Structure 1
Amino acid sequence: MTIAVLGAASLSAWASPTFNAGSAKVTTAEPKAANASSAEPEASSDEVSSDNATRGESAGPKRADGTPMAPEEIEQLEQLKQTDRAVRQHEMAHQTVGGAYAGGASYDYEVGPDGQRYAVAGEVSIDYGPVPNDPKATIEKMQTVIAAALAPADPSPKDYQVAAQARQYLLEAKLEAAMQTSEMAQARASAEGTTPANDATTDSALNPSNAPSAA
């Protein structure tokens, strides 16, 4: 029997011997005849590559009009997606730590090649003013504001500026609180120092016999 190798596909076909009654000899069938009846023609490598490329284009990102994106547009889209995630995480960190002192986030957007909007910048409003006439409350507030301003992994120059201003208010509030504590202590000491004298005078007025005699 004869083994026929078909093309470059590493496939094989076996040709069966046939008996010819006229010549009474065994002959072997031509491999080509067997190939024609038992195998389908194989697609060329160029056709396969073209088909794969077509599938890749149809499965990839598309523009707003539905057409496939160019490689540079795909790269731009990926960069926009990364920026969008980073910006939103940054502002979320401010809001989470800032709590009641932080406002809502606002974003600047850029339209990508797919027609969608992606955040490329953002900001969160935060109240970092001192609490009037309450240094202790101001101290607590400024500590929260500083933590909120520096909460993102990559604080911006504006974030550092807010944190610096909050530190200044924090220092002033600590000084004010210390002064109030000192004044209260002095007032308490003064009150405690004058009370016994007042009591002695009152007691002498009520009981003349207890009044000190002149020398």
Structure 2
Amino acid sequence: MDLTSISAYSTVTAAYARPASPPLSGAEEAKTPGSDDLRQDDTRRADSKTAPGPTRADGTPLAPEEVQLLEQLKQTDRAVRQHEMAHQIAGGAYTGGASYEYETGPDGKRYAVAGEVPIDYGPVRGDPQATIEKMQTVIAAALAPADPSPKDLQIAAQARQYLLEAKLEAAQQQGIMARARGDGESDEPSSPEDAAATAPPQQAA
């Protein structure tokens, strides 16, 4: 049984890096936190809880570049899951459960950025007709996503090769069976006259 994983869909995403804090001026460095600073910090924290839009795991709002990265991760996650689901639906019993690679977004959540689905694409030994049906399903599964990966295309090509071989084997078997039927029919008499002519002579009593 030939078992491999198809898809390995991947999308390049920018690595998440928390933006560095701006450098402090000399006056700001010398300034010590007082009651005004504490009140401002409390106000910022309260505002962050009610501020719309995505936030980090600690509840603080994301910077614009972080929001952009988060949207990219969400789109990739949806695309990866749809891609693998297409393989599974089309492959039926010949595919297994999907596995994913994840990247943690700026919001602290994990998003799928790559995935794969195991598929049994080996021929059915001794049964070319079953192999033909199986390979047709495997090809459909490999090419089911709207954007097949290079590995998807490779599996589809291998399945096509097995399909052609199975069709050839099935044709050969049918030819052998047809010849066997023809030989059997030629051995049988086609009419009573032929039967009388081919019958051994009877001895007189």
- What TM-score, normalized to structure 2? 0.70
- Alignment partner of 1:76: what SS? helix
Alignment-derived partner of residue 122 in structure 2: 129
Contact 1:142 1:170 (8 Å CA) reproduced: yes
Contact 1:77 1:113 (8 Å CA) reproduced: yes
**RMSD value, Cα:** 2.4
Amino acid at match of 2:199: D
Which of the pair has the greater relative contact order for Cα pairs under 8 Å at 6+ separation? 2
Alignment-derived partner of residue 114 in structure 1: 107
C-alpha distance in 2, partners of 1:182/1:119? 52
Alignment-derived partner of residue 87 in structure 2: 94
Contact 2:49 2:60 (8 Å CA) reproduced: no
Contact 2:48 2:60 (8 Å CA) reproduced: no
| 1:79 maps onto 2:72 in alignment | yes
- Alignment partner of 1:185: what SS? helix
Alignment-derived partner of residue 203 in structure 1: 199
C-alpha distance in 1, partners of 2:48/2:139? 53
| 1:103 maps onto 2:101 in alignment | no
C-alpha distance in 2, partners of 1:188/1:109? 61
- Count of residues in Structure 1 that have an aligned counterpart in Structure 2: 156
- Alignment partner of 1:123: what SS? strand
Higher gyration radius (CA):
1
Task: Decide which structure has greater strand share.
Answer: 1
Question: How is 1:144-183 mapped onto 2 (pairs within 5 angstroms)?
Answer: 144-183=137-176
C-alpha distance in 2, partners of 1:208/1:158? 78
Structure 1 108/66 Cα, relative in aligned 2: closer, same or farther at 3 Å?
same
Aligned sequence identity (%)? 72
**Structure 1: runs of 5 or more not aligned:** 1-50, 210-215
**Structure 2: runs of 5 or more not aligned:** 1-43
- What TM-score, normalized to structure 1? 0.67
| 1:190 maps onto 2:183 in alignment | yes
Contact 2:48 2:61 (8 Å CA) reproduced: no
C-alpha distance in 2, partners of 1:208/1:112? 101
Which 4+ residue blocks in structure 1 deviate beyond 6 angstroms? 199-202
- Alignment partner of 2:125: what SS? coil
